[in-house]
Amino acid sequence: MAIKKVLNYGTESLREPSKEVHKVSKKITDLVRDLFDTMYAQNGVGLAAPQIGVNLRVFVIDTSSNDEPLNPMVFINPKIIKKSGAVISNEGCLSFPQAYTDVIRYKNVMVKALNQHGKPFVLEATDGSLLARAIQHENDHLDGVLFIDHTVNRFETEEVLKKYNLPDLDPDMLIDESELQKELDN
């Protein structure tokens, strides 16, 4: 379909919750194609509709590596229905060009969603895998939450944002991760 412009951090709409998809129509299947085209063109692992300016609960992921065949996955109206454990990982985002920082995530997640044909499915991602982290990262976009809101070290993240001329961290958006921190401390 088309490669779209990825909105950068600082664009207000990235902080807005997305709307449910009521019907998997041609408009939605075209959106899914645009998301994949854009994600692959930018060498991304995932991309959510709000990142290309579409305020709908849709994201795509492909965690395959260079020597593996593509493994495109579509998530429409996703809901994380189970989560456990904790893991710290270094994350980036196509809306934050070149900026990476350590964040805290659930180690295991189970997600329920619709695929590109409107069929429901449930997927479990475990052991802090790239898939488990990507599901959480992209799902957050649908709620107006960004990966920096999960930062392990606010001050390091502020330095990274400054280095890449990105807007400052909003301290009011930081998520209390004390529950996850306890998991890591055990």
CA–CA separation, 110 vs 126, rounded Å?
8
Q: Given strand 46-48, what is the order of strands in its sheet?
A: 46-48, 58-61, 73-84, 108-114, 120-125
Residue 141: which of 3, 12, 16 has the closest Cα? 16
Backbone Cα Rg of the chain: 16
Catalytic residue among 20, 68, 91, 138: 138
Known catalytic residue: 179? no
Active site residues: 138
